[in-house]
A and B are shown apart, each in its own frame.
Chain A
Amino acid sequence: MCLAIPGKVIETFDQAGMLMGKVQFGGIVREACLEYVPETQIGDYVLVHVGFAISRIDEAEAERTYQALRDLDQLTELEAPVVEEYPQ
């Protein structure tokens, strides 16, 4: 569970003062916190661990790592249920 999964940032937004993004992993899109890679732009590839981007990588590395993780059955955390924000 220490492995991070690469994905492409397709949207960035602010959530109560926290920099967040929507990140695409293969066919799945999930939210990720971008506070630790604040320089991230839309279109960048990031390594995401439990909903947090921990580093930026290039597209080639992203594709390689994604395939390697798929081979190792290490993508299941992406299937965890989505928790919707409670209306404020």
Chain B
Amino acid sequence: MKYLDEYRDGDVAQKIVGEMRRIQTRPWVLMEVCGGQTHAIVKNGIDHLLPEGVELVHGPGCPVCVTPLEMIDKAHAIARQPKVIFCSFGDMLRVPGSHGDLFTIKSLGGDVRVVYSPLDCLKIARANPDKQVVFFAIGFETTAPANAMLAWRAREQQVDNVSLLVSHVLVPPALEAILQSPDNRVQGFLGPGHVCAVMGYREYEPISARYRVPIVVTGFEPIDILHGTLMTLRQLEEGRAVVENQYSRVLGADGNKPAQALVSRVFEVGDRKWRGIGNIPMSGFRLREEFARQDAEKLFDVAEIATLEPEICISGQILRGIRKPHDCPAFGTLCTPQRPLGATMVSAEGACAAYYAYGRHLQPPIVACAPATVHG
């Protein structure tokens, strides 16, 4: 525990908040992008520590949340097939599709397995040559190098019975979609630390310049988040809009070059639908044509599945920072982590699930700031 104090210390937190109070002249709305940051903010009540008028809204950085329902249904349709071993990270198992979740399929005799690493699928495939092993390859840029390596090794080693159902999303196009929206409220971003550990942060510089918005790449410990918030606030108050790195003890501007190299050999950028938000142009990865044999969407004839999301759910507006969980009449009543109605409740990293987990459905919302204009 010897290294912890500096990053937990209440005095340090108070000093940072005091500095925010000193420099702040007007209300500001900032968005943390990463679901891990959202979780840390709600768990530690960081949003309640901030000065009045500094509001944190919660971004789209939860990969499980934004995986479209159609893709989940597609995964389930494949997982139900008799000669298939369907592999997934643990957090996708409880996400309901239109008809039950992967646990249900497993309980009905489907071979559904949780894996730690995508490479586990190669081992499973070699041990089961008469089965097709399908991996549900979801995630942001942090996960892409791992999923890319599975496709690469499967092709190199000619393990022909392994394929990937890819639903990969990218952070920068999502930030642009948020900023382009006519009802956008976000004036500054806390950028996602571990995404940038892979990708670096140079790709955020054109966004920051084009939209005049500060982006501060931030860690996810309480003091990191407070520090990132202060750095963003300082830029806003000084009229600056650049990319800064709060998390320099972990990452640099260029990210991990070997990882980026393999990702771009395996994946290409294409349009991607985000649950709650809709289609965002050039916002995801798909397998390149050379990896058609590893592409589960090409191997399995799963027709487009029409899905219907409940009209009451406002997760699309929550993911874009326009509204918060308490603004939803279903939050904590009709919609709970046990029976989620939409994107932001399906994973622990979603804003609604985090608010619910820490008892905020039992408390009135804390209105810490001057009323911000909410359209729509």
**B-side contacts of A4, CB under 8 Å:** 142, 194, 197
**B-side contacts of A65, CB under 8 Å:** 221, 250
Which residue of the partner chain B has the closest CB to A83?
A: B120
Which residue of the partner chain A has the closest CB to B129?
A: A86
Contact B145 A54 (CB under 8 A): yes
Least distance between B61 CB and chain A CB atoms (Å) = 7
Contact B3 A50 (CB under 8 A): no
Contact B116 A81 (CB under 8 A): yes
User: A49–B197 Cα gap in the complex (Å)?
Assistant: 11
User: A63–B194 Cα gap in the complex (Å)?
Assistant: 16
Selected A-B contacts with CB under 8 Å, 17 pairs: A1-B349, A35-B149, A38-B258, A47-B194, A47-B250, A50-B118, A51-B119, A51-B146, A52-B145, A54-B259, A57-B250, A61-B3, A61-B249, A64-B7, A73-B348, A81-B115, A83-B116
Asked if A84 lies at the interface with its beta carbon under 8 angstroms from chain B, I say: yes
Least distance between B12 CB and chain A CB atoms (Å) = 13
- Known contacts: A3-B36, A55-B250, A55-B256. The answer to whether A64 contacts B3 by CB under 8 A is yes
Q: A60-88 vs B: 1/0 string, CB under 8 Å?
A: 11011101100111101110111111101
Which residue of the partner chain A has the closest CB to B116?
A: A80
Contact A61 B250 (CB under 8 A): yes
Least distance between B186 CB and chain A CB atoms (Å) = 19
Contact B116 A1 (CB under 8 A): no
Asked if B151 lies at the interface with its beta carbon under 8 angstroms from chain A, I say: no
Interchain pairs with CB closer than 8 A, number: 143
Which residue of the partner chain B has the closest CB to A36?
A: B259
Asked if B63 lies at the interface with its beta carbon under 8 angstroms from chain A, I say: yes
Which residue of the partner chain B has the closest CB to A32?
A: B117
Asked if B265 lies at the interface with its beta carbon under 8 angstroms from chain A, I say: no
**A-side contacts of B347, CB under 8 Å:** 1
Instruction: Please give the number of chain B residues whose Cβ is less than 8 angstroms from any Cβ of chain A in the complex.
Output: 56
| Residue among A1, A18, A57, A71 with the highest chain B CB neighbour number at 10 A | A1
Least distance between B321 CB and chain A CB atoms (Å) = 18
Q: Which of A16, A54, A67, A80 contacts B197 (CB 8 A)?
A: A54
Give residues of chain A (9-66) contacting chain B, Cβ–Cβ below 8 Å: 16, 18, 30-33, 35-38, 47, 49-52, 54-55, 57-58, 60-61, 63-65
Asked if B13 lies at the interface with its beta carbon under 8 angstroms from chain A, I say: no
| Residue among A3, A18, A47, A57 with the highest chain B CB neighbour number at 10 A | A3
User: A78–B114 Cα gap in the complex (Å)?
Assistant: 11
**B-side contacts of A31, CB under 8 Å:** 117
Least distance between A68 CB and chain B CB atoms (Å) = 5
**A-side contacts of B89, CB under 8 Å:** 1, 50, 77, 80
| Residue among B63, B117, B249 with the highest chain A CB neighbour number at 10 A | B117
Least distance between A36 CB and chain B CB atoms (Å) = 4
Contact B146 A52 (CB under 8 A): yes
